[in-house]
Amino acid sequence: MPKKNKNITLAVQASFMLIAMVSASEAQVENTDSVAALNKGVMTLDARVFYFDRRFDLPDTPPARALTGGGIAKYESAALNNFKAALGLYGSFSLFGIIDRELGAGTDLLQSDNDDIAFLGEAYIDYDSGENQLKAGRQRLATPLINDRDFRMLPSVFEAAVYRNRSLTNTTLEAGYVYSESGFGSIYSSFEQQTALWGQDGLGYIYGGTIVNNIALRGQFVNTLESSGLYRNFSYADINMPVSFGNGSHIQAQAGGTAYQAEDSATMYGVKLSTLVANASLAFVYNRIRSNKYTAVEAGPLYTDWQQGYGNYEPSEALGVQLGFDLNKKLHLSAGYVDIESVEGDAFNLDTYAESVFDLQYIINQASHIRLRYSDKNQSQDSDREDRQDFRIIYYYDLS
């Protein structure tokens, strides 16, 4: 590892330890004005230990495997005249030398060159009056097409400026500009422009969400700001409403599209019907992609995309079922099965498969829980891609 990167790694590791100690002591210093806002701020440690093992049914293909520890050590000041400031240190560090670093590149727990991840992931100024909010700097986002994908060691974060308005009841309106990102699961250990996808000038977007008579509506439009970018724009909308049959039943519908500059546009739509049966949740899901490959900026909005971003999103039909069980107050089990049929595979990387997913979560105490996840992706005989088995163990500890 280069000396500069090693120093950064050591600094972030030391910062994690320092913030954990300060948070645990809950020390607060009374003062006035800006000093008081700093002293009364909140320090948190979102710590994780992550074991990842993905195996491919291909000859001479090594697994993607890593064991890392880290997470987010963050300080956010108290509000002063509606202003807050925050810094968040992000890190993922290979543990104990048990697993060869050369296997870690495909896990998104280490950088693509197998180095540890260590960087300043959040650094923002946030003005929030309640009805109006303006937040600028390195931050996490939570919209359908641009979100943080927080399901591995680290979330994705963005250099962005966002304005939100909440003056209407149960409604959020949002406009944003995104300049760069930290990569899928923050694997860059920095922020980079996505010039091949977005062009040189980043992205602009508008987003809105509201609830009317228990019906939730969302919509988003994202546009590249430079016409030479590979993609031109992305669109998405969904609805979630209760239905009268069964117990706690809901129906959801979604639609989206990717409009390319030099190719046919892609369209996506889907339906999800969910209900409760005894102490179990049950859902049926369906998605269809037409004409071209569908994509989002940094999200996995499809109801059938259980790997949250892994899929090719080529023209296809997908049908699946999901089950969830509360085995007791601390133990939850979910399982699912989806069948995906590529419908225009000759023009794309044919991806026709069935996937089974099992997810077990156990709450240890108020601050910590553990999660085991296994999935089996079984390609059809006509597919051009490989079978794959995926196993993960994640321990979460939230010190706040």
Question: How confident is the model over 311-367, as pLDDT tens digits?
Answer: 678 899 999 999 999 989 999 999 999 999 988 766 677 788 999 999 999 999 999
Whichever domain contains 116, its CATH number is 2.40.160.10
- 242: in domain: no
In this prediction, residue 308 carries a pLDDT of 57
- Quote the CA–CA distance of 202 and 228 in Å, as a whole number: 11
In this prediction, residue 351 carries a pLDDT of 82
Tokens of residue 296, six digits: 């989002």
- Quote the CA–CA distance of 390 and 152 in Å, as a whole number: 13
Pairing of strands 316-326, 368-379: unpaired
Which residue, of 178, 210, 229, is where some domain finishes?
A: 229
Residues sharing a CB contact under 8 Å with residue 6, sequence separation 6 or more, in sequence order: none
C-beta contacts of 362-365 below 8 A and 24+ residues apart: 362/330, 362/331, 362/332, 363/329, 363/330, 363/331, 364/330
Question: How confident is the model over 224-270, as pLDDT tens digits?
Answer: 998 776 778 999 999 999 998 878 899 999 999 999 888 889 999 99
Radius of gyration of the chain (CA): 22
**Number of structural domains found in the chain:** 2
Length of the chain in residues, anyone? 400
Other CB atoms within a 10 A radius of the CB of residue 371 amount to: 17
Query: Domain check: are 50 and 155 in the same one?
Result: yes
- 10: in domain: yes
Query: Domain check: are 12 and 132 in the same one?
Result: yes
Question: How confident is the model over 153-193, as pLDDT tens digits?
Answer: 999 999 999 999 999 999 999 999 999 999 989 999 999 99
- 239: in domain: no
- 252: in domain: no
318 in Cβ contact with 287 (< 8 Å) = yes
Query: Domain check: are 215 and 279 in the same one?
Result: no
The parent domain of residue 389 ranges over 272-400
- 266: in domain: no
Query: Domain check: are 205 and 323 in the same one?
Result: no
Question: How confident is the model over 85-137, as pLDDT tens digits?
Answer: 999 999 999 998 889 898 988 899 999 899 999 999 999 999 999 999 999 99
Which residue, of 197, 229, 261, is where some domain finishes?
A: 229
